[in-house]
Structure formats: structure tokens, C-alpha cells
Amino acid sequence: MIRLITKTVSTNKDLVVVPVNSKELAPKSKLDKASALSVVEQKSGIRFRKLLADEGFLADDNTSTYFRTVGKLSAKAILFIGWNSGQNTAEEYRKLGALVAKTARCHRVSSLAFSEGGLQLTEKKRCKALLEGVALSEYQFDSYQKKPKTKPVAIKTVTLLTRKKVASQVAKDAEIYAQAACLARDLVNMPATDCDPPYMVRIARKIAREDKLKIKVLDKPKLEKMKAGGILGVNRGSATPPALIKLTYKPRGKAKKVVSLVGKGVTFDTGGHSIKINKSMNDMKMDMGGAAAVLGAMSGIGKLKPNIEVRAYVPVVENMVSAKSYKLGDVLRMYSGKSVEVLNTDAEGRLILADALALAEKEGCDQIIDLATLTGACMAALGQDYAGLFTRDDSFGQKIIESGSEQGECIWQLPLVEKYREQIKSDVADIKNVGFGYGGAITAALFLSEFVEKTPWVHLDIAGPAFLPAAADYSPPGATGFGVRTLIGYIMSL
Ligand code: BES
Ligand code: ZN
Ligand code: ZN
């Protein structure tokens, strides 16, 4: 937990961060006496502007430079950062927090102080984002290494050098959001043999215990009884049993709304008999990214206690190849009663989601949001940084996009093209599980729409951003925890 302190004068011993505007470094420019740069020059007697010029530091955005203060300031070191306060969005503060924390860790420093300068440190959303950036960038997945490749250093205190106090709740919120995202990252990064459906059930029980949520696990016999043909069909080739996990958060008083979250939990996707070829199976331990996002969000919601009832429906299965696997041409009788002809066993996510969505709708709620690493086609359309959003309710969709943008998670709406619904018509069953030709993310979303008839619903295809091949601003390569913070932020905004 990061301790947040506000103070007017720094007594920080470790590292002080000083934002610099590039104009302040222009030759012959007169420095405002009150500016952060001028204040440290006065205090230390060091002409930092000269040093910065010698370094060639221009204070462009996202650049920084580090100096030791050799006993001239109470802090051991100073980090100048380029800050030209262009847009001043929360996301820029998140990235700033990560940049500063990374430098601090390199120098094995565990406390930081920020001079205010051009920063808006006391504004709640920005302050939360800054601390969240610090916490999120601390994450590493090293439990499978005998000796962690990099030794983690936790930032323990962050001091804001400002006159205005910031509520300590801001630091708590930042911590809760970051922790929830890191919980999802851990689940996604974990090898699939260890993170299988029974493990997902155990983790859900742990979350329920710790965050005081209600849990109900529909195990295989129950799924058979309720005829959840999608979940059972996909899992048929696996040696482990499937489950449908249901977590519920209920507020103390009367809930303003009931929101259901549904997450695709394919703990490993071989493709089944439509087997994935070459390297396309390598990262398929991440195919439960939607489930992880929903579980992570529930753990955050349990702690933040909004006035909204939130229900999570998480189907967990493995899509394996075996003598028992479901076959091409099979017809599955889904929980909703519709029949589905399977013409590609690799289009499995939509089959398990169909059962979970139908149950969420049957149990009655005001809104449904599902998250799924559903299609390669969505990645082809938007690249890896954007999730695709589908909905029949544009204003609902817009709210999710806005929540994403507040959290630095990029979401782009794609159309539910009714004309393409013809592609999933079947000759033998009610529908089939794949279309033909292009627009695979759209036909997948249309398939899901067959199982949500009347409830306002948003589908997020997170195949791209759930798992990245290279490090991003505040996550190492691999799982990002995408969706967790967007979901929590959205629920908290209701
Ligand atoms: N899990 C995959 C989608 C995926 C691909 C996620 C790459 C992350 C990275 C999904 O189950 C799948 O295989 N989808 C198929 C659908 C096709 C058979 C209609 C796809 O996208 O190729
Ligand atoms: Zn698949
Ligand atoms: Zn899949």
C-alpha cells in the first residue's frame, strides 16, 4: 500500500520529481521565481538549467533526466521530467507515475516526492491515475523463476509538494484498481496446466471469501441438469471438469441497478479438432482474459462497495483435442434452447458465452457486459491496442468507451451488421457457430446477440489488448489486465 502525504516543503530523502516545461529551458528565457525548477535552483544553489542544457535535455514530453544532489538538497537525487501539460489527461498522469517509479526502482529508491510545477497533483482523478501508474508498473510475473530476474522494489511513500490536501481515499482507490488489474494479470500469465478450470473456481472462491461476495459454482452435474450444451460441448475433450462460476456483489441498501458481467474463460484453446497451427497456439493460455478481467473487477467492486448490484457469470472450460472432443458437424443444444451446428471447433468462446449470457438474461438484470478474447479478426481490424465494442445500444456503448478512455484502455465501436446474420444461418440447426469470409469479429458478435434478446448489452472483444508481446507503458510483456479498470470505473460511475 502506497502512503500518500501532502506537504509544502520536501523532507523527502530519496528522490524528488521536478516537472519542467520546455519553454523554461529556452535560451534567455526568464524563469518564473515560483516555478518548480527555480525553487530547486534556489534551494540547492545548483544552476540546474546549465546542467540540463549541457545534457541536451529539452524537456520534451515523456523525457526525463536524473541528477544526484550531492548533499545540496534533502533529497539524494532529483528527476527532471518534461511536462508541457498538453492534454493533461488522467492517462498522462498514469504514464508519468510509471516513468518515475521505473527510475526510482532502478536507483533502488522507495519514496518519491513530486513538486507541483505544471502538474495538477491535487485533482482527484489525476492523482489517482498517478498513483495507479506507480502501482501498475510495479507488477512482475516471477513466481516461476527460481531467482527473479529483476528484484522488485516497492514504492512505499509518495509525497505531493502542494498546499492542498488530497483525501487518503484517492490512494486507496488507486491501490484497489491496480491490485484488481494485477490479479487478472496473474491469472492470464499463469501456465494453463496450473490455471485450469478447477483452479479458476478456487480463485473465485478465494475472491468471494476475501471481498465478501456471494458465490455459486455450477459444476458439471448441474450444468448437465440445466442443459448448458455450449459449455459442456466445448469442454467434452478435456480431462478436467468445466464450471460456470457465479459471483454476486450486493450493496447494503437497495441497489440502484443490477449489472451482469460475463467473461470468456477458456483456460487453454488448442482449437479442438479445428486445431490451431504453428505458433498460433503459443499464447492460448491467455484465452481466459475475459474471465480474469471479470474476476479482477469483482474483487475491486467488493472493496469499493458501490450502490449497484453486480453479478459475474464466468464459464470456465478447456478446448482440447481428444477422442471425446466435440466434432465438426455436431449440433449442440444450448442452455437457451437454441441449437447450434459446430462448423469450427476453434470458434468455442461464443459457445460458452452463449450459455452464460442466456443465464444472465434469464436471471434478470438491467445491463449485461461481456468480455472475451474472441477473435483474431478483431485484432486484424484494430491492431493489438484496441478492444472492439459491439452493442445495439449506442449510448450504453459510449459510456463504456468513455470509461475506457478515463482508464487508458482504448475501445473502438464496430458495427453489428445485420446483413451478415445470414452468414450464421444453418441448414440443420437454428444457427451455426461460424460465418464465412471477412468480418469475423462481427459474425462472432452477431452470434452472441442471438442469446441476449432484450437486455441492454455490450460485447467487448479483447483478443488484442489482453496480452501484449512487448512491454507497454505500465505493464511488462504478457498479460495487461485489460478491462478490469474500465469495468470498475464504469460501475462506480453509475
Ligand atoms: N481464442 C481465439 C481468438 C484469439 C486469437 C484470441 C488470437 C487471441 C489471440 C478464438 O477462440 C478463435 O480461435 N477464434 C477464431 C474464430 C474463427 C474460427 C471463426 C479466430 O479468430 O480465428
Ligand atoms: Zn478458438
Ligand atoms: Zn478461444
- Whether residue 281 has its Cβ less than 6 Å from ligand 1: no
Q: 273: which residues sit within 8 A by CB, 6+ positions away?
A: 321, 325, 327, 328, 345
E strands present in 347-475 = 367-372, 386-391, 410-413, 431-432, 457-461, 467-468
Distance 373 CA to ligand 2 centre (A): 9
Q: What does the pLDDT read at residue 336?
A: 98
State if residue 442 touches ligand 1 by the CB under 6 angstroms criterion. Answer: no
Least confident of 118-127, 192-201, 334-343, 445-454: 118-127
- Give the separation between CA 55 and CA 70, rounded to whole angstroms: 18
Pocket of ligand 1 contains residue 349 by CB under 6 Å: yes
User: Which among 337, 334, 400, 336 is positioned nearest to 367, based on CA atoms?
Assistant: 400
Task: Tell which residue, 441, 400, 396, 403, has the closest CA to residue 423.
Answer: 441
Q: Give 377 Cα–ligand 1 centroid separation in angstroms.
A: 8
Beta bridge partners of 339: 333
Q: Over the stretch 256-287, which tens digit does the pLDDT of each residue have? A: 999 999 999 999 999 999 999 999 999 999 99
Contact between 107 and 66 under an 8 Å Cβ cutoff? The reply is yes
Pocket mutation for ligand 1, best pick of 266, 287, 345 (most atoms within 8 Å of C-beta): 287
Q: What is the pLDDT of residue 10?
A: 67
Least confident of 5-14, 80-89, 175-184: 5-14
- pLDDT tens digits for 286-313? 999 999 999 999 999 999 999 999 999 9
Helix H or strand E segment including 403: helix 394-407
pLDDT at 444: 98
Q: Is the CB of 378 under 6 A from ligand 1?
A: no
Per DSSP, the residues of 131-166 read: HHHHHHHT----TT-SS-SS------EEEEE-SS--
Q: Taking CA 418 as the corner, what is the angle to CA 414 and CA 422, rounded to the nearest 5 degrees?
A: 125
Average pLDDT of span 189-215: 98
276 in active site:
yes
**pLDDT over 90, % of the chain:** 85
CA 267 from centre of chain: 18
Instruction: Give the residue with greater pLDDT, 349 vs 151.
Output: 349
pLDDT digits (tens, 9 = 90+) for 474-489: 999 999 999 999 999 9
CA 274 to ligand 1: nearest atom? 18
The H-or-E segment that residue 297 falls in is helix 289-304
Looking at the CA of residue 280, tell me the nearest atom of ligand 1. 7
pLDDT of residue 34: 81
Q: How far apart, in Å, are the Cα atoms of 320 and each of 187, 194, 200?
A: 19, 15, 17
Q: What are phi and psi of 370, to 5 degrees?
A: -115, 150
Q: What average pLDDT does the chain have?
A: 95
- What pLDDT, in 10s, does the model give residues 449-476? 999 999 999 999 999 999 999 999 999 9
Considering only residues 94 and 164, tell me which one the structure prediction assigns the higher pLDDT. 94
The helix/strand/coil state of 216 is strand
In 3-state terms, the chain is what percent helix, strand and coil (to 5)? 40, 20, 40
